[in-house]
Structure 1
Amino acid sequence: MTDEEKLALIWDERSITKTMLNFGRALDIGDWPLYRSTFTDNILVDFKRLTTFDEIQVSADDWTRFAELILSPVRRHHVFTNFDIKVERDRAFAIVYMTARHWKASDMGASEYNQYGWYDVHFVRQGEEWKIARIKHDFQWVSGNNAMFDMSEPKLAENMNLVFCTANRDAAINALKIW
């Protein structure tokens, strides 16, 4: 590699890292426009270990609303490490280790729920920015009280029906053919 190619690779890796850090920071502080800005307009999402739903293709706006509804009632703290980034022209893939901590006052069990695992993330370059086009959330283990997430809350339940619908699962199957 030439020095120019090395510098471009370092810049791409730094930009991809920054996208993931914005993703996590936005989740923690509830900056939903910043969170939305980390995605392409339509994204593939595999959060099956967490939600039990198969991978979907969904608008980033709908996914952002889901994140806002499910996470706003709890305090959050995401830590990302072990960035392993592979760049190929205008596409990239990263494995990013994460610890996701959640807290909510509760008299129905532990007040914490923690996840320890990683994200598998596919990025595409859009102009000068790297955006998340596909993301898989996976974990090795969890601890605490997952019941602090109230899936029966009406606005969240309505949003989940929109986000995890059959049409979005079918769209993901078709979109995966290009990945």
Structure 2
Amino acid sequence: MTDADKLAVLWDERAITKVMLNFGRALDAGDWPLYRSTFTDHVLIDFKRLTGCDEIRVSADDWTDFAELILSPVRRHHTYSNFHIDVDGDHALALVYMTARHWKATDLGVSEYNQYGWYDVHFERRGERWLIARIKHDFQWVSGNNALFDMSEPNLAASMAKVFCDENRKAAIAALAL
């Protein structure tokens, strides 16, 4: 590998790391345009451990709307570490450890809900930018009160029905078969 090749790999790894850091920073700050900017126009989402729903292929706009609706009522703090990135041309795979902390004042149990695990992320280079094309959220354990998230809130329930619908599940199956 030449010095130029090594430099290119380092540059790609840095750019991919920055996408993940923007992803987390946007979640915490509620910067939904920044969050949306980390994805390809359609993205494969596997949050089955968290949602119980199979992997879906959904528009990044709909996914961002869902994230905003579910997370806005709580305070958030995401930290990422142990980045392992493999670049192969215009595609890359990353394993990124995460801790996701959530807080909301409540009289129905503890005010915190935390997740400890990682993301498996597939990136695609689009022009000069790296974007998330597929993401799997996994965790080793959780602690606290998952009831901080009010799944019965009408706008959130409607968003979940739109995002986790059969059509999006079937689209994921078709995309993965390619």
1:176, 1:94 → 2: CA distance?
18
CA RMSD of aligned residues (A): 0.3
2:138, 2:176 → 1: CA distance?
18
Residue 105 of structure 1 corresponds to which residue in structure 2?
Answer: 105
Q: Which amino acid aligns with 2:68?
A: E
1:114, 1:102 → 2: CA distance?
6
User: What SS does structure 1 have at the residue aligned with 2:152?
Assistant: coil
Unmatched segments (≥5 aa) in structure 2: none
Identity of aligned residues (%): 76
2:36, 2:142 → 1: CA distance?
26
Question: TM-score, structure 2 length as denominator?
Answer: 1.00
User: What SS does structure 2 have at the residue aligned with 1:78?
Assistant: strand
1:36, 1:85 → 2: CA distance?
21
Question: TM-score, structure 1 length as denominator?
Answer: 0.99
1:75-86 equivalences under 5 Å are 75-86=75-86
Residue 65 of structure 1 corresponds to which residue in structure 2?
Answer: 65
Q: Which amino acid aligns with 1:171?
A: A
Q: Which amino acid aligns with 1:146?
A: N
Aligned residues: 178
Q: Show structure 1 runs of 4+ deviating over 4 A.
A: none
1:127-146 equivalences under 5 Å are 127-146=127-146
2:115, 2:170 → 1: CA distance?
28
Deviation at 1:14, TM superposition (A): 0.1
Q: Deviations over 1:142-172 (max 9, x none)?
A: 0000001000000000000000000000000
**Does residue 24 in structure 1 map to residue 24 in structure 2?**
yes
Residue 118 of structure 2 corresponds to which residue in structure 1?
Answer: 118
Deviation at 1:177, TM superposition (A): 1.4
2:66, 2:52 → 1: CA distance?
15
Unmatched segments (≥5 aa) in structure 1: none
Residue 88 of structure 2 corresponds to which residue in structure 1?
Answer: 88
User: What SS does structure 2 have at the residue aligned with 1:161?
Assistant: helix
